[in-house]
Structure 1
Amino acid sequence: MMFLIVFSLLTVCVTSEDPENGVLRLKDVPAAEAFINSTEVAVIGFFQTDAARGYKEFLSAAAQMTSLPVAVCGEQEVWARYGIASDTISIFRKADLHQEHLNLSEAKKVDADGLVRFMTMNNIRYVTEYNQASAVGLFQSEVKTHVLLLANRGRTDSDPLQERFRDLAPKYTGKMLFVLVNGSEKSNARVLEYFGLESRDLPRVGIYDGTLDEKWLMPSGEITAERVQSFCDSFLAGDLQQKEAGTSEDKTEL
């Protein structure tokens, strides 16, 4: 709460809120940087005027995406800072250090539902819950290594596990995406099957490498922050891959 108060005081002179729609308006580069740095995922609609194509649709979509911080900006100084040349909706993510831009002049159709889908698919956070929409953004990300916490969210041990998971995620920014898979959801049964698991086997932690299309499962046991970090570090160091390769060779020789 104190952070939000301080942030508001720091930006009051360089941002304003539209009294009609309540959307934050960014007035200069420091305001834009403060807005982007204040959250895991930030959305900015870069529009030259309020009459621009997609402006009203953007406001409508923003009203539906209440969990996403949204702002608008028409200041050319800010546009230049982020390489914006025409009316564009941009999403800034910390988890994979990525910027996703939707150039409205190139879009065949612009409507609120489509913009909601764009924001939903690209709402990639330090810990992203896996579902049909977020899967698109996860697999389109340049970060192809996913660390999965497979847990039944209805169980009492799931919340502390998610906290440990979330605390670790920033340490692997740009290297790994941390993903929560709810094993209680029938739609996630194929993910569990891919790892050779069933709902009763959870919670477990796994790693998926999208480049190699390979997976690794952390040995069963208590899921501590130390074990998960060691598991991740072993992958990044190549130890998990070498171990699996060695096991495959042993099996071939036998």
Structure 2
Amino acid sequence: MSRIISNMLITMFFSLLVSSVVATEKDSALPRLSDTKAVEAFIDSAEVVVIGFLEGEESHGYQELVAAAKRVESVPVAICTEKEMWADHSVSSDTIALFRKADNHQENLNIADAKKLETDGLVNFITINELRYITEYNQVSAVGLFNSEVKTHLLLFANRGSKEYTELKERLGALAPEFTGKFLFVMINGAVKSNFRSLGYFGLKSTDLPRVGIYDGNSDMKWLLPEGEISTERVQEFCHSFLRGELKEVKQAGAEAKTEL
């Protein structure tokens, strides 16, 4: 009798062990996009997404992508193994592609071109290119911002922790889609010492904030929205004034400042 009970316990143990392994494997799997509608819906589901255009789960780069997805939880990740859909996104071989709405851009990492593909490298690829409708400026995001084809930045200077910070970030983030492909909206935290040079470039100090400015990378010119309420309407008109070319004759922000960005 004791032997029967023992065998039953052993059987139950292995059954639980197997089910646990299956569950773990299932949890680690990335969502699979099987048709064009699924791919388009996934791309449209968030401001930034990543799709692994890979032949299958055995492909080089898949396990690294799974591991990277767990570390960058803010970015949804999926795979597409149906090659007939790859061409729709200019993909011809195994590629990890990042799609972002802020500038309607697709950033490709071709697996064959990567000398050494590691999880850390994929995490860096995602975080550097993770530009959103309003992106917080730091040393990592700066790379993606200045590599974007959109060279004009609408800058919100505000001190994190201030009562205006979150409210203004949400307000301008909601306005940003209107200017997709024309401006990148960037949040610069004036309470961080490493951002003091950026403030100085506009002739600002942290005590002057919040303020809004425009930086045009094509002409290396910069302007500040005149002091006053930072309303959606004022910022919207500020952006349109730039697009109409009306700011070219306006005195540049920080014109007398000696600091550099």
* TMscore range, shorter length: 0.7 to 0.9
In the TM superposition, residue 171 of structure 1 has moved relative to its aligned partner by: 0.5
Measured in 1, the distance between the counterparts of 2:27 and 2:191 equals: 42
Structure 1 gap segments, 5+ residues each? 1-17, 249-254
1:37 maps to what in 2?
A: 44
Query: Of residues 150, 162, 173 in structure 2, which corresponds to 1:155?
Result: 162
What's the TM-score once normalised by structure 1's chain length? 0.87
Q: Structure 1 residue aligned with 2:125, among 110, 118, 132?
A: 118
Q: Does the CA-based 8 Å contact 1:47-1:55 persist in structure 2?
A: yes
Secondary structure at the residue paired with 1:240? coil
Partners of 1:80 and 1:106 in 2: how far apart?
A: 18
Q: Distance in 1 between matches of 2:194 and 2:167?
A: 24
**Counterpart in 2 of 1:73?**
80
2:97 to 90, 94, 107: 90
Question: Residue type matched to 1:59 in 2?
Answer: V
Distance in 1 separating the partners of 2:29 and 2:215:
41
Question: What is the match of residue 176 of structure 2?
Answer: 169
Partners of 1:22 and 1:158 in 2: CA distance = 38
Between the aligned partners of 2:27 and 2:104, the Cα distance in structure 1 is 33
Q: Which runs of structure 1 show a deviation greater than 6 angstroms over 4 or more consecutive aligned residues?
A: none
Does the alignment pair 1:214 with 2:249? Answer: no
Unaligned 5+ residue runs, structure 2? Answer: 1-24, 256-261
3-state SS in 2 of match to 1:205: strand
Given candidates 105, 116, 122, the residue that maps to 1:109 is: 116
Q: Is the 8 A contact 2:29 2:66 kept in 1?
A: no
Q: Which of 120, 127, 151 does residue 144 from structure 1 map onto?
A: 151
Deviation at 1:215, TM superposition (A): 0.8
CA shift digits 1:14-41 (9 cap, x unpaired): xxxx724142110111100000011111
TM-score (norm: length of structure 2): 0.85
Q: What's the CA shift for 1:244?
A: 3.8
* 1: CA distance, partners of 2:189 / 2:145: 16
Contact 1:130–1:179 at 8 Å: present in 2 too? yes
Matched residues, percent identical?
57
- Deviation, 1:220, is 1.1
Aligned-residue CA RMSD (Å): 1.4
For residue 189 of structure 1, report the CA deviation from its aligned partner: 1.1
Over alpha carbons, which structure has the higher Rg? 2
CA drift at 1:43? 0.5
Q: What SS does the corresponding residue of 1:81 show, helix, strand or coil?
A: helix
Amino acid at match of 1:223: I
Q: Map 1:186-225 onto structure 2 (within 5 A).
A: 186-225=193-232
Q: Distance between the aligned counterparts of 2:200 and 2:75, measured in 1? A: 32
Match of 2:63 in 1: 56
Hey, what's the Cα distance between the residues in 2 that align with 1:20 and 1:163?
Answer: 33
The separation in 1 between residues aligned to 2:49 and 2:92, in whole angstroms, is 19
